[in-house]
Amino acid sequence: MTYLFYIGFLEVNWNDIIDILLVSVLLYQVYKLMRGSVALSIFFGFLTLYLFYLVVRAAQMELLTAILGQFMGVGVLAMIILFQQEIRKFLLLVGKTTAINRDNLFKPFWRKKEEQERLNLTPIIDAAKSLSGSNTGALIVFSKNSPLKFYAESGDEIDSTVSKRLLLSIFNKYSHMNDGEVILY
């Protein structure tokens, strides 16, 4: 096997370089996913606890090593439970970016190319003007290519054309369906 170079006792080859690059890309993607959330603080808390455990074990403090060792034993399970949402987002991201996902694989076989419907913005603008006149807050999200199914699954689906009256009824302060947002596909 051909080695690129030696670092002391380490022999580095192309597989090692590719491995390091792939791990660094994976860690960067995980960081981007957790950035700005509470999950990053929890992760650093776990990391601090683990480093403290390593120091205590190296110092041969038996009782503290045994106590912290119990936490480390269930650490993987606790991480899965605590980072459930982030793991789900990561898996959705991986599933979306793969070349063989369901939508792209079966689309040519089941349907012909669908024509994109153009969204009429006039009723949305009129509804926004009416809502601002009554000091009613509204979050209207336009989704074309972004996978917002994670958020849309928690609401009620209304299969209809967008109109001013429909938006005003959704954002009615006294309506039971009012949660302050609507996603338009």
Mean of pLDDT values over 170-184: 77
Task: Report the C-alpha gap between 76 and 97 in whole angstroms.
Answer: 26
**What's the pLDDT tens digit per position in 106-154?**
555 445 445 456 778 899 999 999 989 988 888 888 877 666 766 776 6
**Backbone torsions φ then ψ of 105, nearest 5 degrees:** -75, -45
The yes/no answer on whether domain 122-184 falls in CATH 3.40.1700.10 is: yes
**What's the pLDDT tens digit per position in 4-41?**
666 777 787 888 889 999 999 888 877 777 776 677 77
What is the amino acid identity at position 86?
A: E
Residue ranges covered by each domain of the chain:
5-110, 122-184
Number of H helices, E strands in the chain: 9, 4
